[in-house]
Amino acid sequence: MKNKLLILGSGGHGRVVADVAEKTKFFQEISFLDDNFLNRNFSKSVDSKKVLGEISKRSIKKYASEFSHAFVGIGDNQIRINWLKILETMNFEIPKIIDPSAEISKYAVLEKGSFINTNVVIQCNAKIQFGSILNTSCTIDHDSIIGEGTHICPGVNVAGNVNIGKFCWIGIGSQIIQNVQIGDNVTVGGG
């Protein structure tokens, strides 16, 4: 079977995920499901990729035999993790999607469903948990943990030995100094 990727969500984040997935040259085909599919003014093609239907278990089941891999391109942390867990139960391969420009230590751990965008740096013994987003040009230093479903925004710098909990949103350009612990569901403002 060809490596075909089904992405849930064709909005801004979904399109970025598709762009990076295309750059990896691993997938021969990439298509979307999107909640706006039933809107008659909604385009059924996004960046030369098909939008096949709405996001629902029924639509996902309809395309399960055609797609080997599935990913969630939705920025909302809770929604993203909920759909990733549903895709797991439906036996899709949940990849890690990593931009070829990223610099990742061979000693770092990236769990499935992770999205690593352009120019990200991840140092040794960092752990990126299930369904997290590391956005453009952020850095994660040694021995830091990024919790499940957390979004690290563009230009964020996370120092060594930082533990960021689940479902956090670390705003654009923020800097987290070493040895800091951030709990679950925390939003850090930009800068």
Please identify every residue annotated as catalytic: 142
Query: What is the SS3 string spanning the chain?
Result: CCCEEEEECCCHHHHHHHHHHHHHCCCCEEEEECHHHHCCCCCCEECCEEEEECCCHHHHHHHCCCCCEEEECCCCHHHHHHHHHHHHHCCCECCCEECCCCEECCCCEECCCCEECCCCEECCCCEECCCCEECCCCEECCCCEECCCCEECCCCEECCCCEECCCCEECCCCEECCCCEECCCCEECCC
